[in-house]
Structure 1
Amino acid sequence: MKLHWLLPGYLGMFLLASPAEAAKLQSWRFDEQQNRLEFRTDEGVQPKAQLITNPTRLVLDLPGTTLGRPMVNQSLSGAIRSVRVGQFDRQTTRIVVELAPGYTLDPAQVKVRGISPTQWTVDLPTPQRVAEASGSAPAPVAQSSSPPPRPSPAPRPAPTGATQLESVQVTPDGFFVRVSGRAPELKVRRSSDRRKVTIDLPDSTVSPQLTQSEMAINRFGVNRLIVTQEKEAARITLEVDRQAPEFRAIASSLGGVVIIPTGNVVVSDRRPSEVNPASALVTPPSTGSTPAAQPKIATIEGVDLRGNQLVIQANEALTYTSGWDRETNAYRIALPSAQLAEDLKGPTLDASSPLLRIRLRQENETTVAILLQPAAGVRIGQLSAAGQRSLSVPLERSQIGVTPPPGGSTVSVPTASTNPNQPLPTAPRGRIVVVIDPGHGGPDPGAVGINGLNEVDIVDPISKEVASLLERQGVQAVLTRRENIDLDLEPRVALAERVNATLFVSIHANSISMSRPDVNGLETYYYASGERLARTIHNVMVQETGARDRGVRQARFYVLRRTSMPAVLIETGFVTGSEDAANLSRPEYRSRLAAAIARGILQYIQQNY
């Protein structure tokens, strides 16, 4: 289908950024003729791109970037309907390019390129009609192999209302109804037998692209959701239990309607796939004067990896909270009123698995926590009920590549020395203070691996030797702890700020399941300003130790986010890895690793101070 762009030329808006430590989005524009998005920041950024469906939209996140103003929505014409720019969370600006219903993109043809660390372009291919929506007739519904639970509804009239209902999605809080056109009026009613809740959108029509008019829910006391076209309104009907709470509908500022059960439930005014993952309990508390019955304790009987989804099964109905644990950088699913079966084992993971690790933990007598660490390029999707007694966690592999800026200064690092016997560089004159942070300590031994090898016994001697080597070369080295004592994260950051540190280096050892001795190697993490430092140290470690290279990554660890100076977190190897554990248990290897870390720090100082 040939597309006609009705508004040629550049569409854009220049944004004023408020003062902050993070990078600021200074400007952006979308060229309709070339299908190209361009944006600039005042500091180097590393965009993260993903393609989301229903409706199709390209989501571009700029970590460590602020917008400094309310969300901006630029309406377009043709297959690309709008470009939105907003603040997703405190440290992330999000750009969303949304397509019109019935169109999609080939993710392999989306090109994100860095002209420089502060200037990026995103080239989109020509949007194509989805196969089901070709032609002028409404898209046919895919036939199911099993008979439908009820007769199919009568064909919907062609959309003529001022508002179109385009999709309905289940969220951790309730339901999100995607609409186009003007904000709809809302009428909510409950039947006298309390078994049905109807939400009418007057002067609205159901979009022909809405192919799923019925949904099995089994959450919030809702058994089924049905979308129908009435004479002068689009209608959503919830078939509910008599004991289900009341529901209310709220017009959202994001182009839709939020339907939520009333009660002690957190409401999020975001689209389901854009929710900042810190969700409320999906089952609201009972209402009324009669005391609520104590919930049954569900036994988690299975946690299985089935292709691109993780399925959690129990013998009773499940409720959950979920979101990213910002301290461990793992995705945490908490299941209250639950316990682990005695013989429960998690799924077996290999090099091709979408998860790097999974931890099943009984946090107390009635709470189970499941911690997930996705593999590189894997996104954890929105949890959903796979049945009343099971949950499904989508694991979506990204298909969009990001091309870094050519020769950008934020990723340019010096070539590391391959001779560990070469004298260490000396620091330039002037006050250089480096805080060395040995991870964990005291009652927290950190990771425990092969033959009882624990993290603290590795990072303590390495950290002390790094500090000693730096001192000899004229750098003032400050250890966050010299003894094996308990120390929270906040005091570590506070010490670095108090001594006005030049750099912050946190040293750790990694772990995974004991059944994965094949996973070995070095990892180095940064958050915002520490990328060059991370790459410099990492390159030296890899070349001087011969360890496997697992790369440099960006992460939201507390000590990286809260420090104002360049900061990195080093994972010196896996205590559960057959190669790494053997090396890390040897004092001579730990000394070689300490010398490599010190050399990388000194090289960075020579290059930048």
Structure 2
Amino acid sequence: MQTSPARGPLVSVFIVSLTFWLACGSAGPAAGQSLPLRTIVNGLVVRLAGHAVIQNGMIMAPYQGLFEPLGIRATWDRGERVLSLTSPAGDQMQLRAEDPYATVNGERRPIPIPLVVVLDQVLVPIQWVAETLGDSTTYDAGTGTLVISPQITDISWRGTDAGLEVSIDGTGPLHAGSSILHGPERLVLNVAGAVPKVAEQIDVHEGPLAAIRASRSFSGTRLVLDLAAPIQYRITSQIPGRRIVVTLGAPAPPPAPPSTYQPSAQKISDILYQHMDGGGRVVVVANRPLQAAQRTLRSPERVVIDVEDAVFLPVKKFLDIDDGLVIQVRAAQFHSNPNIVRIVIELSRPSPFEVRQGPASGQLLVELGAAVAGGPGWPVASGPHGPVVVAVDAGHGGTDPGAIGPTGVREKDVVLAIAQTLKRLLARQHLDVVMIRDADVFVPLEDRAQIATRGGATLFVSIHAHASTDPNATGTQTFYANPMSQPLAASVVDEVARTSGLATRGASQASFQVLVDTTRIPSILVETAFITNWREESLLRNPSVQLAMAQGVLKGIQRYLSMPLAAAP
């Protein structure tokens, strides 16, 4: 991807202006203004290694010292005049002096203002760099303060032998202080320097944990874990520093009242899981027929089965499944006196389920997904591997415009329009859709696979517009990383070429980050047309052509889903 011819002179003018104002050390014109800047990075005040300059609302600042508190490794090659950055998540970025494009995980992306070297100072567009690598920035012009914060992007939990394990993931190093509050019982975590990018309230209702609440605080993020009883807990750090793990152990025992315990005649000896095409079955083994209460919980999706007046002889058991539908099955003695056994089935997406008696005495079956045969009100779209959930990823977005055409058409805008059209077409076919972005917002690369996974995606389709230094380059193309995705890539490129009338450039293997992160499911990247070709740029902004391209992707998906198992992964 190349800049338009007009950008080169503008960059040169900016560098000359920047050199003058840095040399003078005084306030400059609106086009480039030297400013005193207070910088707070991950809760720490960082002293800049030189002057900062604001240009068209974008802060250019020396890179030294700004990235370390975020866990980003920065290396400056003086000879090549290249700054290399590696985020804690493994994202790679290279910025070359005066180059209006950066290389991010092998892809060329336009930069609002390129890296410049002036008077031995290496200045970068700090907000763009930090946000592209997943962090958050805010600038208060009144106080001259720039705040760069890692984001808390995910909160999950699972049962372990040690207790309920709550994982808090971020884009950079997370540091948490903790305290216990009573009346009601709460565990409060103060994560200094980080900002939340998770739901304000997450209902859990497992073990001692009722819910988790997240909010901004003066110093960062405040997480409140609402507890059902006093607990013992332990906090550890993983991945190094990007994950905080809170293990909630057994409740602290209260003074024992006089015993009124009544033993239960119903004894559950085991839980098992049986894999099935497009679904699964949980088998509860007991000494007599069981009656169970059932309900569902959201965020994440769970089926909860409570068996009253029963004891679970193993006390607790956890089955890690990860078969595309079921993530984990947990069973434990949820309550004593009265005795209640709770079974939690954590799902990757909403699914039909049915609880019924098994063929053997004392068996209780929980049928899931296709095993229910799509009960009333649950249309199940099937492919080679059962129910289908398509993750539609509109490339770029927000501060990242993607490639820009000869007349200024931006890749982020046209691919969002195609993705939204595809979403509507898929919905009409009763196929579930997960939109990675459904508006002009920036979504970090590492978050895109996580959003698809949380949505239970079974297919991943990333929509892009191609770019080339050759203005005559033309055609549509698809890419895949894992060979199991090749049939999907081939089907889609053929259909898009047919519906759009463009030449096909075929399906090729490539290690784009979004494809590498989603190799557990068929994943492709669609380069719809060349936005750097003046004719194809015009086609890309035409709503009728956008519809034709979306129809081609849909037909390619349908063609793939109709393949026999031997042809599909």
Give TM class, smaller chain: 0.3 to 0.5
TM-score by length of 2: 0.35
More helix by percentage: 2
